[in-house]
A and B are shown apart, each in its own frame.
Chain A
């Protein structure tokens, strides 16, 4: 059975089903991260003393990672725009760059984490580190998930471009919406964890 409204938009909603689905998913993600942010506020306001993030965490590394993730958001939206312009080769370049930037983000995070572990700082060490590892760990899983989907669209999934370019463009747009959300979460994580 063919999946309905992957290319055509529904008359009643004006949207494809895929787009509605990704936005509903993102709404649930807002609540997931929202619950963790609420926990962070609760723990922090309840603590007698709370360390400044920059006294424990590596701000230059995190700043670099913020710039990397913002750049990846731009390459992602440019990948989608390339398909709208009917330039598949350019799409491949931008999507490849997006995956590569995601990988750079993870490598920097790996060095950050191993440095903390080397110094004997673990999630069990204190509440600040518990919330830091939980929030950034969950965010990192989202980066991994987004990279997996983007890698599929860059590689085997790109075959769809030959048979149904509009459907493929819609898939890239939906994957992009997830990727931008991951960027958006980091935009709030960075100052709240590292700088305040």
Chain B
């Protein structure tokens, strides 16, 4: 095993997989869990305010984005991942944003489609 690292060894470097670090990570998982539960309640509470549609959509998506980021960063370990994973995700985001933006742009002012 001179030219390779196992993931466990590797994990000790990038995910903090030794016992001290994993205990610290578990504490973070619990904090994230509580935050996600609280933000879910916030999401539902906002919907009961009956805000104007645009404001309601903005707020709901903002809270969902915070929740999604917590899941991705801590549960999916994206906060300390390898460069290749970030590259894959960057390309995905580059495709995903136009995919979502296209219907909005084409519909909002008829710029491309009349």
**Is B92 within 8 A of A31, CB to CB?**
yes
Smallest CB gap from B14: residue in A: A14
**Is B85 within 8 A of A15, CB to CB?**
yes
**Is A84 within 8 A of B8, CB to CB?**
yes
Write the residues of chain B forming the contact surface with A, with a CB cutoff of 8 angstroms: 1, 3-8, 10-11, 17, 19, 22, 25-26, 29-30, 32-33, 36-37, 40, 43-44, 46-47, 53, 56-57, 60-61, 63-64, 67-68, 71-72, 74-76, 82-85, 88-89, 91-92, 95-96, 99-100, 102-104, 107-108
Chain A positions within 8 Å of B46 at CB level: 195
Query: B55 CB to closest chain A CB, in angstroms?
Result: 11
Known contacts A81-B22, A170-B7: A70-B33 contact under CB 8 Å: yes
Question: Using a Cβ cutoff of 8 Å, how many contacts connect chains A and B?
Answer: 151
Interface-facing stretch out of A37-45, A111-119, A123-131, A149-157: A37-45
**Is B107 within 8 A of A45, CB to CB?**
yes
Known contacts A166-B7, A187-B68: A63-B22 contact under CB 8 Å: no
CA distance A14 to B68 in the complex (A): 26
Mask: chain A, 169-196; 1 = CB below 8 Å from B; 0 = not? 1100100110011011001101110011
**Is A195 within 8 A of B26, CB to CB?**
no
Write the residues of chain A forming the contact surface with B, with a CB cutoff of 8 angstroms: 7-9, 11, 13-16, 19-20, 23-24, 27, 30-31, 34-35, 37-39, 41-42, 45-46, 54, 59, 63, 66-67, 70-71, 73-74, 76-78, 81, 84-85, 166, 169-170, 173, 176-177, 180-181, 183-184, 187-188, 190-192, 195-196
Query: B13 CB to closest chain A CB, in angstroms?
Result: 10
Partner of A196, one of B22, B56, B82: B56
**Is B71 within 8 A of A187, CB to CB?**
yes
**Is B84 within 8 A of A14, CB to CB?**
yes
Chain A positions within 8 Å of B76 at CB level: 176-177, 180-181
**Is A192 within 8 A of B60, CB to CB?**
yes
**Is B99 within 8 A of A169, CB to CB?**
no
CA distance A58 to B1 in the complex (A): 56
**Is A191 within 8 A of B64, CB to CB?**
yes
Partner of A34, one of B63, B64, B99: B99
CA distance A190 to B40 in the complex (A): 10
